[in-house]
Amino acid sequence: MKEKNKIHAENNWSEYKKSKDERIPPGTGFPEDLFDQRDKYKIFTIDDGRTELTTQIYDSYAFDDDFGTIWVPFWEGGSRYLGSGPRMNDKSYVVIKDRIEREELILFLKNSYDKFGSWKKNAIENNITSYEKEIDRLDILSVNWHQNGGSGFFKKTYMTTNMVINYDGRVSFYIFMPGVQERSGYIYTKDVSERLTIKDINSLENILSQESVISHMEEAMVKDKKLLWVLYYKIKEIEDLEKKKEDLFQ
């Protein structure tokens, strides 16, 4: 669907949005969640393909600033402390707003993994054990949900890539993200540390490609437009019936 908003794959996805006068005004009877949707997007893996994680993508008929933003969970579940005790099964996500940030994340992971490859070779050749070293660091934005997904907060934080050598000489590539704390100080997340291989990085690169995102968003636009028309006719039918009643008893 490319009527008024042509897709240019070489551009930043955040530029693809309707002008304000093209948006449907509030009070039209359409449900708010039609214009504020984070749908399940696609699956990538961690731990050499052993664990599958599902990303979310923001698709809004209004084409606002968040249109096309992807939330990537590098872990599932975890404890969130609210002062009185932990609540389980909450989630946190890395927020990727556009094509530039998607490419930046993949380049960061791939460059880090390349460096890890040479470090791993040196570690094995020299029989190094029980050692950890940071490879690189990337600033990120995270969104962290608590109270069973009822509310959440955004936080600027960072991700590091790391070489980890255990006691018997096994060399692994890890990503690490520190726990973050809401301004109130009562809600914070634990540190995250997950093992990745090039297989996992490639799976993430595939779903974050511009072609994949554009294909999904075009389908979402068609779906939303169809839903809008269904709702329009439903509301119109109700309004016409009410008008008929009024006309009958003038």
User: What is the per-residue pLDDT for 222?
Assistant: 67
Give, as one character, the DSSP assignment of residue 32: G
Say if residues 217 and 207 touch (Cβ distance below 8 Å).
Answer: no
The 3-state DSSP composition of the chain as helix, strand, coil percent (nearest 5) reads 35, 30, 35
User: What is the per-residue pLDDT for 137?
Assistant: 98
User: What is the per-residue pLDDT for 229?
Assistant: 60
Digitized pLDDT (tens) for each residue of the chain, 250 residues in all: 343 344 433 444 444 444 444 445 455 555 454 555 677 899 999 999 998 888 888 876 555 567 778 999 887 654 434 444 444 345 678 999 888 899 999 999 999 999 999 999 999 999 999 999 999 999 999 988 765 445 678 889 999 999 999 999 999 999 999 888 777 666 667 788 899 999 999 999 999 998 888 888 777 766 666 656 666 666 677 777 777 777 777 7
Up-side HSE of residue 229: CA atoms within 13 Å toward CB? 5
Alpha-carbon distance of 136 to 36, in angstroms, equals 35
Which strands form 51-59's sheet, in the order they lie side by side?
A: 37-46, 51-59, 70-72, 92-96, 131-146, 151-165, 171-177, 192-196
Up-side HSE of residue 22: CA atoms within 13 Å toward CB? 12
Size (the chain), residues? 250
Q: What is the DSSP string of 176-210?
A: EE---B-TTSS-EE--EEEEE-HHHHHHHHHHTSH
> Under the phi-then-psi rule, with left for phi > 0, alpha for psi from -120 to 50, and beta for the rest, what region is 107?
alpha
